[in-house]
């Protein structure tokens, strides 16, 4: 199995840490992983994105032009990465702030209103975990316990009291993700 | 038993530095490698091993702090990126000329000048052909994974002390910023003994020790240069490192190191799916360069494509290796652009197969 | 020969010894010009190291300039630094061998021009090193060009009509600058142009070494010196010129002493 993912949104949405948790979940299940962020001036206040590769085999290029999955969390990222999803691939997006919804007809599209849900849950910081939950619902890559272990590994110990809240958010994501269109 | 952790390449270098028993790190922040000194600062190396960490006032000062520490017989290192490495060249030349060991890390970014902070491989000439003034060579290691970023720290020290010569790890912003899983070696203790060539204070039982690269007598200076060249020949004979991937049945060859070699691996898979038998030759030591091993491949393949994130620097060594017995061309992107796997396959078809 | 005259044989008897070259100086013939202050200052440093008994505990850093070959004359471990970088080299040594004494010996071109940043920052960090700064207002080794310390109106091979402030600014007083930094512990300006001054300089340099053991910060001693060749004077003329021209601009004395 090899899964090539782009996660893209605004800086501060937890894009990079979501990728890291996903990688650590893979490590927990003995997989090879790579996490390649866009770095530089793009980091400052603007968009943030990270390419994550999860694979049973040794990973060749950590830098990709096309993806099995795009997780898109703002309009700029929609404009940039919708076309980069491989035919038959997956696009997950948060509807918050999206003015032009995905138009591709050859890919599977899911929507998760995680920003809204995070506000309802009273902690906007759980936003990325809701999205992660939604992704795991669709892709069913890892056992939930591996993901929780991955979460523990990627959070500094001083934030470990946040793990139950994050776990709850992952569960919430599993519940609220909605299918928009599928090609299979 | 150490377990796998996820880490950026830059952070892996820093953690590996502590574990390799580094005595002193002296550096100056520059993108895209500031994580090295930041990680060290947060990791409290002084508490862990007694390792000294100092943010210098400039790269110029940092490399000269290395010179001082290396002359005292200690394991010392610095890290920087292209413009900072340019500033260090005088000091690197002095260190080579004084036959001192040290570890240098260049997380290359695009140039010339201030250039870009995006990844590049355009410092190949600087690292392998000199950089500073005078007849000297660095041993240059080119990691292609976060694991190698970590492993080459202790390898670098071993080579540096074995040959009393500076060693450079040449990597780039992509490998520095990306995370992969990495397993670290156990903590090595810092060495308590000083080598017999180090300035530690003249005791009655030995002559005074002078660390210098100056000799105003040309005949003595020439003898010293000849001694250096003997050392470099020994290194060339013993320390060439490389990796061959799917070369056994290859009819064409990618030659690439570092990040480019990772992308070429994907290009290789794509080309093979189309029935093009292409292999990958990855130099691990950029100096000494694997001339003989590439020359051997010239008898087997119909052409070689050197893929670099530069205008074509290593390709000159590939051409030198094969001595015009086989077609060699270069494909590369500059200015911080990383070539895509698709582009590379296309370049192979156009420049080597169809060309 | 008079009855009571001392014979050569008697003269070299140990009990008649009034002065001898310190063993901390090698027998190499110094390359310095006759009358130059470098030789005197080298001797003072060597004597102090011998008197303190720290030969096995000290590492020196030589500069680029006239004293580039200092390591040929001192019987101690030394490192030769690139031009201006001696304080950085000394920082590297001292940080990794904190129990040792480490000093730099630098001229005005080395310390006050190309190495200004390294000087200021080593002093500002309060590195526990000793810096000996020889200021003769000129680049001696390269043939008498202007230094940052060249006096206004003073002739050099690159200011043949005298240093003009409008073109080259004023001479820089590095010792005053570093005395203002909290990182320095002891800062003094001395000279070696008379026997009395030589004695005072020796006291200052000795303090600058002794204080290093306290780990309280950088100790910095400027030695205002002459350059008979570069100034195109006899040694005697140069010492007179130094007293009349250098000292009014670079007044002697301790500039920063530890609080008692």
Q: Report pLDDT digits (tens) over B68-83.
A: 999 999 999 999 999 9
pLDDT, residue B355, reads 65
Can you list the alpha helix ranges (DSSP code H) found in B164-205?
A: 173-177
The average pLDDT across B163-188 equals: 97
Domain boundaries, chain C: 32-256
Q: B5-201+227-238: CATH homologous superfamily?
A: Thiamin diphosphate (ThDP)-binding fold, Pyr/PP domains (3.40.50.970)
Mean pLDDT of B38-57: 97
What pLDDT does residue A124 have?
Answer: 87
Write out pLDDT tens, residues C179-220: 999 999 999 999 999 999 999 999 999 999 999 999 999 999
Q: What is the ipTM of this complex?
A: 0.95
Tell me if chain B has a CB within 8 Å of the CB of C92. yes
pLDDT(C3) > 80: no
Q: B202 CB near a chain C CB, below 8 Å?
A: yes
> How far is it, in rounded angstroms, from Cα A113 to Cα A130?
9
By Cβ distance, the residue of C78, C81, C82 closest to B199 is: C78
Residue C2 has pLDDT above 80, yes or no: no
Using one digit for the tens of pLDDT, what is the confidence trace for C246-260?
999 999 999 999 987
Token look-up 């099995």 returns A68
- Across the interface, of B26, B201, B210, the residue whose CB is closest to C57 is B201
State how far the Cα of B156 lies from the Cα of C102, in Å rounded to an integer.
28
Q: Which pLDDT score, from 0 to 100, does residue C249 have?
A: 98
pLDDT tens digits along B305-353: 999 999 999 999 999 999 999 999 999 999 999 999 999 999 999 999 9
Per-residue pLDDT of B246-261, as tens digits, reads 999 999 999 999 999 9
Task: Give whole-number Cα distances, B12 to A17, B6, C201, in Å.
Answer: 18, 9, 51
Distance of CA B162 to the CA centre of its chain: 17
**Under-50 pLDDT residues of chain A:** none
- The mean pLDDT value of chain B amounts to 97
Would you call C59 and B201 a contact, using CB atoms and an 8 Å cutoff?
A: yes
CATH topology of domain A2-181: Pyruvate-ferredoxin Oxidoreductase; domain 3 (3.40.920)
CB B90 within 8 A of CB B309: no
- Chain A residues 44-73 with a CB less than 8 Å from chain B: 59-63, 65
CATH number assigned to the domain with residue range C32-256, chosen from the 4 options 3.40.50.970, 3.30.300.180, 3.40.50.10130, 3.30.420.40: 3.40.50.970
Tokens matching residue A181: 């269109």
**Is the per-residue pLDDT at C18 higher than 90?**
no
Rounded to an integer, what distance in angstroms lies between the CA atom of residue A143 and that of residue B116? 42
Q: What is the pLDDT at residue B144?
A: 98
Phi first, then psi: what are they for B20, rounded to 5°? Answer: -80, 0
Output the six-digit token pair for B151.
């492993």
Q: Is the pLDDT of residue B2 over 80?
A: no
Q: What is the DSSP string of B201-236?
A: ---TTS---EE------HHHHHHHHHHHHHHHHHHH
C64 band by pLDDT with thresholds 50, 70 and 90: very high
Is it true that domain B243-353 has CATH number 3.40.50.920?
A: yes
Interface membership of B235 toward C (CB under 8 Å): no
How many CB atoms sit inside 10 A of residue C161's CB? 7
Q: Give the residue from B179, B339, B342 with the most A CB atoms within 10 Å of its CB, the best one to mutate.
A: B179
Asked if C210 contacts C52 with a C-beta cutoff of 8 angstroms, the reply is: yes
Element (H, E) at A133: helix A127-139
CA dist B286 to A169, B235, C16, Å?
49, 12, 67
Closest partner CB to B214 (pick from C59, C68, C97): C68
Given a cut of 50, whether residue B1 has pLDDT beyond it is: no
- Residue B321 makes CB contacts below 8 A (sequence gap 6+) with B289, B290, B291, B292, B294, B295, B298
| Token representation of residue C4 | 């009571």
pTM, full prediction: 0.94
Nearest of B154, B43, B37 to residue B84 by alpha carbon: B37
Q: In this model, does residue B52 exceed pLDDT 50?
A: yes
> Helix %, strand %, coil % for chain B, to 5?
40, 20, 40
Nearest CA in chain A to B342: A65
Distances (CA, A) of B119 to B15, B116, B173, B282: 22, 8, 4, 18
Query: Is B116 a residue whose pLDDT tops 60?
Result: yes
């Amino acid at each position: 199995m090899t899964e090539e993912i782009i996660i893209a949104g605004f800086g501060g949405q937890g894009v990079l840490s979501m990728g890291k948790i996903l990688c650590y979940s893979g490590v927990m299940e003995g997989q090879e992983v790579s996490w390649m962020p866009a770095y530089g001036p793009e980091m400052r206040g603007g968009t943030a994105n990270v390419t994550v590769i999860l694979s049973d085999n040794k990973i060749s290029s950590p830098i990709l032009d096309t993806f099995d999955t795009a997780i898109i969390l703002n309009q700029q990222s929609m404009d940039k990465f919708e076309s980069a999803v491989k035919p038959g691939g997956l696009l997950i997006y948060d509807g918050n702030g999206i003015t032009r919804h995905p138009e591709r007809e050859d890919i599977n599209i899911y929507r998760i209103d995680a920003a809204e849900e995070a506000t309802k849950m009273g902690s906007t910081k759980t936003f990325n975990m809701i999205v992660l939950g939604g992704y795991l619902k669709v892709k069913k890559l890892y056992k939930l316990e591996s993901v929780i272990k991955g979460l523990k590994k990627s959070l500094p110990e001083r934030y470990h009291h946040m793990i139950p809240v994050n776990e709850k958010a992952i569960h919430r994501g599993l519940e609220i993700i909605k299918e928009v269109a599928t090609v299979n | 038993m150490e377990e796998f952790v996820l880490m950026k390449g830059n952070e892996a270098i820093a953690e590996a530095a502590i574990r390799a028993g580094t005595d002193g790190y002296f550096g100056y922040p520059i993108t895209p490698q500031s994580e090295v000194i930041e990680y060290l600062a947060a990791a409290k190396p002084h508490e862990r091993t007694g390792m000294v960490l100092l943010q210098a006032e400039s790269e110029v000062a940092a490399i000269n702090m290395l010179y001082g520490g290396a002359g005292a017989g200690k394991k010392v290192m610095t890290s920087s990126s292209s413009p900072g490495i340019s500033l260090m060249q005088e000091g690197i030349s002095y260190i080579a000329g004084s036959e001192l060991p040290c570890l240098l890390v260049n997380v290359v970014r695009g140039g010339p000048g201030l250039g870009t902070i995006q990844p590049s491989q355009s410092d190949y000439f600087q690292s392998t052909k000199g950089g500073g003034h005078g007849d000297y060579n660095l041993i240059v290691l080119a990691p292609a994974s976060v694991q190698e970023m970590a492993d080459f720290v202790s390898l670098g020290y071993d080579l540096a002390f074995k040959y009393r010569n500076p060693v450079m790890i040449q990597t780039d912003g992509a490998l520095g910023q990306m995370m992969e899983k990495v397993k670290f070696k156990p903590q090595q203790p810092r060495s308590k003994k000083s080598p017999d060539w180090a300035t530690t204070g003249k005791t009655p039982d030995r002559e005074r020790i002078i660390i210098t690269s100056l000799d105003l007598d040309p005949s003595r200076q020439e003898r010293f240069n000849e001694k250096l060249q003997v050392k470099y020949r020994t290194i060339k004979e013993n320390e060439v490192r490389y990796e061959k991937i799917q070369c056994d049945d290859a009819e064409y060859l990618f030659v690439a190191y570092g990040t480019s070699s990772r992308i070429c691996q994907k290009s290789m898979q794509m080309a093979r799916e189309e029935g093009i038998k292409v292999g990958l030759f990855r130099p691990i030591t950029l100096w000494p360069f694997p001339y003989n091993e590439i020359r051997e491949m010239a008898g087997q393949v119909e052409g070689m494509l050197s893929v670099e994130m530069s205008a074509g620097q290593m390709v000159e060594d590939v051409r030198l290796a094969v001595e015009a017995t086989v077609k060699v061309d270069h494909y590369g992107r500059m200015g911080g652009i990383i070539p895509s796997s698709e582009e590379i396959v296309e370049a192979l078809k156009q420049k080597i197969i169809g060309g | 020969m008079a009855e009571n005259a001392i014979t050569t044989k008697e003269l070299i008897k140990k009990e008649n010894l009034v002065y001898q070259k310190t063993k901390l100086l090698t027998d190499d013939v110094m390359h310095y010009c006759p009358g130059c202050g470098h030789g005197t200052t080298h001797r003072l440093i060597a004597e102090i190291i011998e008197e303190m008994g720290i030969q096995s505990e000290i590492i020196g850093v030589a500069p680029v300039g006239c004293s580039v070959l200092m390591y040929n004359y001192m019987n101690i471990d030394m490192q030769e630094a690139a031009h201006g970088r001696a304080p950085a080299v000394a920082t590297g040594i001292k940080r990794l061998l904190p129990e040792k004494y480490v000093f730099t010996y630098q001229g005005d071109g080395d310390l006050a021009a190309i190495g200004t940043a390294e000087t200021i920052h080593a002093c500002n960090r309060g590195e526990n090193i000793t810096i000996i700064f020889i200021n003769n207002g000129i680049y001696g080794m390269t043939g008498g060009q202007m230094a940052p310390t060249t006096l206004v109106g003073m002739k050099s091979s690159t200011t043949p009509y005298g240093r003009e402030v409008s073109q080259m600014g004023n001479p820089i007083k590095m010792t005053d600058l570093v005395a203002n930094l909290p990182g320095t512990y002891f800062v003094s300006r001395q000279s070696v142009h008379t026997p009395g001054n030589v004695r005072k300089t020796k006291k200052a340099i000795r303090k600058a070494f002794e204080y290093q053991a306290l780990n309280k910060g950088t100790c910095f001693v400027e030695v205002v010196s002459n350059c008979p060749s570069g100034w195109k004077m006899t040694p005697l003329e140069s010492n007179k010129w130094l007293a009349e021209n250098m000292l009014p601009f670079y007044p002697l004395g301790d500039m920063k002493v530890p609080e008692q």
